[in-house]
């Protein structure tokens, strides 16, 4: 499998699914523009093999400048993977601070909105491209004590479906993936090490994403791919 000469933007690339996906894409010769708000686990050798930038993706002007610089450098974008996002501390809704709820929405939804806003016109101009938004199983069903996170991931799904309908009859596709439990630092912080170790590995999510990108798994425009442990990916097509 190779992504040679593919120009890929990947957000949330400094830990978890994003970092493992970054390493996979680099290994398979992709030209990756990776970003994160925090330089967490990314190593110097990873940085040397991609173009990594620390950026606040909730800041619209920063995003615009970032995308403009990429286009000046490459002239095109083949793939956008919106992986940036955060969870919340487990909390009943009535105990959740307004600022925390707002922050979770901003860091999951506005990051996705800003990136699509400035990448989509480029894809329209070149009449090609794929956008993958990383949602969650929590974007399909509510989870107690995770009201902010669920709300954000439901919003990512709505954003995905809306954009998909706006690019119908073109060579652009906008889809989402919704992983169930994954063994990541985020999961460990929420539910503990014992729970996290029972979840699916990040490598499975990477495998599904890359198979989608090479059309080994065919996903219709606007659809969502549910990825849960020990089951085949389930593709949900939106209502017309």
Phi, psi of 105 (to 5 degrees): -60, -45
Query: Are 83 and 18 contacting, i.e. CB atoms less than 8 angstroms apart?
Result: yes
Exposed e or buried b per residue across 94-103, where buried means at least 16 C-beta atoms within 10 angstroms of its C-beta: eebeeeebeb
**Phi-psi category of residue 5: left, alpha or beta, with phi > 0 → left and psi -120 to 50 → alpha:** left
Q: Cα(139)–Cα(74) distance, rounded to whole angstroms?
A: 34
Instruction: Based on the residue annotation, tell me whether 118 is a catalytic residue of this protein.
Output: no
Annotated active-site residue in 24, 66, 118, 149: 149
Residue 85 in 3-state DSSP? coil
**117-52-19-128 Cα dihedral, nearest 10 degrees:** 40
**DSSP string for residues in 144-174:** TT-HHHHHHHHHHHHHHHHHHHHTTTSSEEE
Catalytic amino acids? 149
């Amino acid at each position: 499998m190779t992504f040679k000469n593919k120009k890929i933007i990947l957000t949330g690339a400094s830990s978890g699914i994003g970092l493992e996906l970054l390493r996979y894409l680099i290994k398979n010769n992709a030209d990756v523009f990776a970003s994160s708000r925090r330089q967490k686990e990314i190593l110097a050798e990873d940085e040397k093999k991609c173009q990594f930038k620390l950026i606040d993706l909730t800041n619209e002007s920063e995003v615009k400048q970032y995308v403009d610089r990429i286009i000046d450098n490459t002239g095109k974008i083949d793939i956008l993977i919106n992986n940036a996002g955060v969870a919340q501390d487990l909390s009943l809704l009535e105990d959740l601070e307004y600022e925390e709820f707002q922050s979770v929405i901003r860091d999951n939804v506005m990051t996705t909105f800003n990136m699509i806003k400035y990448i989509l016109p480029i894809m329209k101009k070149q009449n090609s491209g794929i956008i993958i938004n990383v949602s969650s199983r929590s974007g399909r069903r509510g989870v107690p004590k995770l009201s902010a996170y669920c709300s954000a991931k439901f919003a990512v799904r709505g954003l995905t479906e809306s954009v998909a309908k706006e690019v119908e009859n073109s060579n652009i596709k906008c889809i989402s993936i919704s992983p169930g439990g994954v063994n990541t630092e985020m999961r460990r912080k929420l539910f503990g090490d014992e729970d996290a170790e029972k979840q699916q590995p990040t490598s499975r999510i990477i495998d599904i994403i890359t198979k989608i990108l090479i059309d080994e798994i065919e996903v219709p425009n606007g659809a969502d791919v549910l990825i849960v442990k020990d089951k085949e990916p389930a593709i949900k097509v939106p209502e017309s």
